[in-house]
Structure 1
Amino acid sequence: MIDILALLIATFPASMTAANLVLLGRAEGTPAPGTLVSILVPARDEAANIAACLDAALASAGVAIEVLVMDDGSTDGTAEQAAARAAADPRLRLLRAPPLPPGWTGKVHACARLAEAARGTHLLFIDADVRLAPDAAARMAAHARANNLALVSGVPRQRMGTVGEGVTVPAINLMMLGYLPGAGRAFTNHPAMAAACGQLLMAERTAYDAVGGHAAFRHRLHDALALSRNLREAGHRTEVVDGSRLAGCRMYSGFAEAWAGFIKNAREGMATPAGLPVWTVLLAGPHLLPWLLLPSPWAIVALALSLLTRAAITLRVREPLWTIPLHPVTVAVALAIQWTALVRSALGRPAGWKGRAYRPADGT
């Protein structure tokens, strides 16, 4: 009986994925005359990434741009590399973040200060490990205008070089496409259905200012989701598009870094006392439980459905194919991260990132 239940649960992410892969659109079009995209890069100890990030941003075509880098107390040469490029290209400005005020998280503070200094009609926030495609800024701005969107976001093509990355990073697209109705498209206009990826997020300037920008959620760690929800609550339209052809990103360099990075944001997502038991059933039921029920024919069908779901997502978002057989481990690790985050929060332990510690409730 339990094997049949596992199969029934497996139909949920499978059917959701099938619908979302059809619904997930691409940013297309030509920007309106007078559009200026401010490409905004918060950077803290990003010497390994900043040069390539800025080179890709400055290669943007099809729309007028400016590029702003906020050096947030780096100690590794990030500022020096950005300064050298700024000296050679007047479109690039290097800014220095003031000391982090009480109650703010680091990235949110840097993004708020970047927005204050930006001159653009559209604000394109990217992480330093993101490499924009030349037409990404133009296509996102055009898509926002054509569809009356206050926010356009996408998950960049995730590049992975180690098994540790392969069993952690693919969970992003699995959750977005396998479990979120509509995958963040604008027609799912309720704030609870909002979604966004902080690696690649464009906000229309007027709407961004109207909802208070990043200052409205200064204590948050999951800044992209908070901004998307705030905009929807104010009646604006937000949308997730296929980001795999707009940008690429290698988030982490191995398992330990990925583990720490995902734990940082977990308490503002799935890792809540009420929500995580439900998520455990929804994830373990179709993707892990059938392995324990072999050789039941129903369990075999459930596993086939699980792996086909993951394969369809992987192919669409252009992630490495070698990560597909690791799918059960990916789900197990994702759940381990969420439960660890919940336990750490219950014990009062803050999440740490780049020399700073944050508590999920107050951002300190």
Structure 2
Amino acid sequence: MTDWAWISLGLAALPAALGAHNLRRLPRLPAAAAPGLVSILIPARDEAANIAACLDAALASQGVAIEVVVMDDGSTDGTPEIVRRRAAADPRLRLLAAPPLPPGWTGKVHACARLAEAARGDWMLFLDADVRLAPEAAAAMAAHAARQGLAMASAVPRQVIGSLGEALTVPAINFLLLGYLPGGGRAETRQPGLAAACGQLLLCERGAYAAIGGHGAVRGVLHEGLALARRFRAAGHRTEVVDGAPLAECRMYRGFAECWAGFLKNAREGMATPLGLPVWTAMLGGAHLWPWALLPAWPAALALLLGLGLRIAVTRRAREPWWTVPLHPATMLVALAIQYWALIRWLAGRPAGWKGRAYPATKAA
């Protein structure tokens, strides 16, 4: 029992130390003016509930010249009508219609590729329709990327969490990024395997994007941000994840069912692999779940305190709700359950799907 308690302490100490380092080094972007034009590019499929607020925030951008382009990807609700009305009143906004989805492409990736073709800017800021940009965000990201020589700058927006189901799933994004990825996606970690990105908020420099083949080079993936970041790095370009909480906010899902389905679609391109998932189970279970069974051994108690301390620090930096912190062990358990269910589905030959489309999930590029 004592040996296992010491092992759990070691498994908890590693992410605690790594997370403390990553939190200290996570770039905070000051407000800054940026030269050139930023194209804010929004793929939208059945986003009538989100698109108006997304456009209002994007069009309120300050400190840089912008254009906003929306690609309607076969919406069956009022999405195109909402965009069309706003475009009639603001020449900076354009509405385009995505052509039929070609074989081998996933829907969002195809829409983003077509958006990039239509963009006129020096920088392309890909934005999900449920993201609300802060007024200074586009300028700050473009200025930082230009100053640091980045081909890509990405960020996890502040996650708005409004239900128990969201609290059991969404906080895992920042916790795993900052606690378990060496470097936390910073530019000085040049290896493709240490790249990170969030497709909700993704800025690309136009020339580097074209040089790596853009979204067309990752056409079959669902986790396009990560795939692009790895491709940029493999080609010798610099990418970086920055502090997203001051830059934007997003309520990505509503309720447990949406969260489960949403995280499930990307799992096979992340943790849910036959070789990787047992390792993740040992790391996450050993640090955040097993110690509960090893109490009252003091190394197990210390392991739990280290894990909780890291969760508190990440929650504070990410500006997520404090009431989600006591749910941390359950969040880790649900994260692993999603990964195992994704792997089981893949082994059974069941495709991933989202918004009425089904795809054979692939390993991210």
The alignment's TM-score, normalised by the length of structure 1, stands at 0.98
Partner of 2:69: 68
Task: Tell me the amino acid that sits aligned with residue 236 of structure 1.
Answer: H
Asked whether 1:238 is paired with 2:272, we answer no
The answer to whether the 8 A contact 2:269-2:363 is kept is: no
Q: 1:208 to 1:164 in 2, by over 3 A?
A: same
Q: Do 2:123 and 2:203's aligned partners in 1 also have CA atoms closer than 8 Å?
A: yes
Q: What SS does the corresponding residue of 2:62 show, helix, strand or coil? A: coil
Equivalent residue, structure 2, for 1:199:
200
Partner of 1:5: 7
Q: Counterparts of 2:42 and 2:50 in 1: how far apart (Å)? A: 11
Q: Which residue of 2 aligns with 1:16?
A: 18
Q: Which amino acid aligns with 1:26?
A: R
1:219–1:362 contact (8 Å) kept in structure 2: no
SS class of match (1:244): coil
Secondary structure of the structure 2 residue equivalent to 1:102: coil
- Name the amino acid aligned to 1:359: P
Q: Which amino acid aligns with 1:320?
A: P
Specify the SS of the correspondent of 1:125: strand
Report Cα offsets for 1:148-176 as digits up to 9, x if no partner.
00000000000000000001000100110
State the shift of 1:32 in Å.
4.5
Q: What secondary structure does 2:165 align onto?
A: helix
Query: Which letter does structure 2 place at the counterpart of 1:85?
Result: R
Whether contact under 8 Å (2:31, 2:136) holds in the other structure is no
Measured in 2, the distance between the counterparts of 1:312 and 1:29 equals 24
Structure 2: 5+ residue stretches without partners: none
TM-score (norm 2): 0.98
- Secondary structure of 1:65's counterpart equals strand
Change (3 A) 1:357 1:161: same
How far does the alpha carbon of each residue in 1:32-71 deviate from its partner, in whole angstroms, 9 at most, with x for none? 53x1000000010111100000000000010000000011
Residue 352 of structure 1 deviates from its aligned partner by 1.5
SS in 2 for 1:221: coil
Separation in 1 of the partners of 2:88 and 2:363?
39
Structure 2 match to 1:263? 264
Aligned length: 362
Q: What is the letter of the counterpart of residue 12 of structure 2?
A: A
8 Å CA contact 1:103, 1:362 repeated in 2: no
Q: Return the offset for 1:218.
A: 0.5
CA distance in 1, matches of 2:29, 2:271: 28
Could you list the per-position Cα deviations for residues 292-339 of structure 1 after superposition, in whole angstroms to 9, with x for gaps in the alignment? 112222221111111111001000110110100000010000000001
Q: Is the 8 A contact 1:51 1:82 kept in 2?
A: yes
Q: Which runs of 5+ in 1 are unaligned?
A: none
Counterparts of 1:282 and 1:140, CA distance in 2: 33
Give the aligned partner of residue 277 of structure 2.
Answer: 276
Contact 2:154 / 2:202 at 8 angstroms: preserved in 1?
yes
Runs (4+) of structure 1 exceeding 6 A deviation are none
Matches within 5 A, 1:170-181: 170-181=171-182
How big is each residue's C-alpha offset from its partner over 1:119-145, in whole Å with a ceiling of 9 and x where there is no partner? 000000010000000000000000001
DSSP-derived class of the 1:239 partner? strand
Q: Secondary structure at the match of 1:186?
A: coil
Identity across the alignment (%): 68
Q: 1:31: how far off?
A: 4.2
Task: Render the CA deviation track for 1:13-43: whole Å, top value 9, x for unaligned.
Answer: 100110000110122363453x100000001
| Conserved 8 A contact 1:27-1:142 | no
Return the offset for 1:360: 1.2
Displacement of 1:247: 0.3
Shift of residue 345, structure 1, vs aligned partner: 0.3
Structure-to-structure mapping, 1:41-120, within 5 angstroms = 41-120=42-121
Mark the CA change 1:362 to 1:295 in structure 2 (over 3 Å): closer, same or farther. closer
Aligned to 2:186: 185
CA gap of 1:50–1:233, structure 2 versus 1, over 3 A, is same
Measured in 2, the distance between the counterparts of 1:355 and 1:236 equals 35
- What does residue range 21-40 of structure 1 map to in structure 2 within 5 Å? 21-28=23-30, 30-33=32-35, 35-40=36-41
Cα deviation, 1:191-244, whole Å, max 9, x if unaligned, reads 111100000000000000010000001001110011111111111110000000
Task: Tell me: CA distance 1:362–1:7, structure 2 relative to 1, closer, same or farther (3 Å).
Answer: closer
The answer to whether the 8 A contact 1:14-1:309 is kept is yes
Structure 2 CA distance for aligned equivalents of residues 32 and 60 of structure 1: 12
